[in-house]
Chains A and B, each alone.
Chain A
Amino acid sequence: MLLHGYLPAILGGLQSTVSVAGTSLVIACVFGMIGAAAKLSSARTPRVVAETYTTIIRGVPDLVLMLLIFYGGQIAINEVADYYGWGYIDIDPFIAGTMTMGFIYGAFLTETFRGAIMAIPRGQIEAGQAFGLTRCEVLRRITLPQMVRHALPGFTNSWLVMLKASALVSIIGLDDMVHRANLASAATRKPFTFYATIALIYLALTTISILALRWVESRYSHGVRKVEFR
């Protein structure tokens, strides 16, 4: 019997791991864009808030942040709910977990996106405005497409870190691949088999991600001439 009959359970966990990591990535991108916009803002307050956000996140391990935001957030939300008399709110661990991961890795993407926006020559944005494009059009047609190319290396890196960090959500009670492996190990007393299996699956996921993002990078760099060293 393949994996003592636990293969479907592990694959179910894989689905959950991918959806946790994928959802967190989307949330992280939102936080990252807001953070980058705030850091590049001409107003002082958003800059200070964004700077505080990225500094704190970088100074604390992701596991600790996860525990703090997950348990602390739950209590904070329920204190608010108590105040307004809504009764006890049970927060879905998937939402809490992905929001937490997104919030943490949004700080890393903030730096990536900020660098990518700064790498676009200012004249291009001015030219767009001179042609009478709205701010939204400038963002959609000039800034974003070029940002992708500059942001991809940092983005790839953050995604790989996030994919691996998603293993930590098993600690705050999400039913991901690691959690499934824990259960299967306990039931069969074959922990190595299961942990080695999921390690290989993670390795496959990182390999696929690297190859896919390398392809995307080559697509977005079509019009760019590389420096040729001699």
Chain B
Amino acid sequence: MIDWSVIVDSIPAFLKGLQTTMLLLVLSCGAGFLMSVPLAVARVSPNPWLSKPVWLFTYVLRGTPLLVQMFMVYYGLAQFEAVRESFVWPFLRDAWFCAWLVFTLNTTAYTTEIFAGALRATPSGELEAARACGLSEAAIYRRILLPSALRRALPQYGNEVVMLMHATAIASTVTLVEITRVARDIYYNHLSPIESFGVVAVIYFVLTFGMAGLFKLAERRFLRHLRPVASGVA
């Protein structure tokens, strides 16, 4: 039923695709994290000039399909003469750059909301104590608010990273040869869905639960103070 030779022959292609998938994930995840921390701080700011633009950004990015965003950037921007003649064109004509840009913006939008939610959930006593100790606003963010909020956000953030990993499959629509594209090419060559999509589904499955395990370890490390007290105490 299953043609194993097709699977064995495609191992090198899948390994190469896996590299692309992981690189896309790491680069957009890293850039997204760096951007969403300051954006989350702006999102919870009482100043509407700071919080409203961030709200609009996350609302638009989260309210439209990733596939459409990808097409808008990769196929769409070439429509404008000004873009084609500007210095950014060498980047924007590159599928790699476009995919990275779209994934980064997309995950930034979701992560910003996650971090903003975690910031809002700060117990007000922590903030009052920090103010009473005379910490400056910057020091409060650096030493009190962000460390505790990022910890609180860890479980949700782990989910978001897994979702981003799944989202990188969309890069297969803009000529990038990551694992989904490899599977689609194998399907078109052999017309065998199990040997192509079945294999890539297994790869994603393993990656998902591997990453979920890593985040569980991180939670155990960073959220130790929230764990239920071990038996024998009560």
Q: Which residues of A contact B (CB under 8 A)?
A: 56, 58-65, 67-68, 71-72, 75, 164-168, 170-171, 178, 181-182, 185, 189-193, 195-196, 198-199, 202-203, 206-207
Contacts and interface: CB of A to CB of B under 8 A. Distances in A.
B201 A64 contact: yes
B173 interface: yes
B15 interface: no
B202 to A, nearest CB: 8
Nearest to A68: B197
B20 to A, nearest CB: 15
A157 B198 CA distance: 28
Contact of B76 (A178, A196, A202): A196
Contacts, number: 111
Contact of A168 (B67, B76, B198): B67
A64 B204 contact: yes
Main SS at interface, chain A: helix
Q: Which of A62, A68, A75, A181 has the most chain B CB atoms inside 10 A of its CB?
A: A68
Interface residues of B, number: 38
Contacts of A198: 68
Contacts of A75: 193
A60 B65 contact: no
B197 A64 contact: yes
Interface in B120-168: 165-167
Nearest to B71: A195
Contacts of A202: 63-65, 68
Name B's interface SS.
helix
Contacts of B65: 164-168, 178, 199, 202
Contacts of A207: 63
Interface string B168-198: 0110110000001001100100000110011
27 contacts: A60-B204, A60-B208, A63-B170, A63-B172, A64-B200, A71-B193, A72-B194, A72-B198, A164-B65, A166-B65, A171-B67, A178-B68, A178-B71, A181-B68, A185-B75, A189-B79, A191-B72, A191-B78, A192-B75, A192-B76, A192-B77, A192-B80, A195-B71, A199-B69, A202-B64, A203-B60, A206-B63
B205 interface: yes
Interface in B75-92: 75-80
A193 B200 CA distance: 34
A67 B205 CA distance: 15
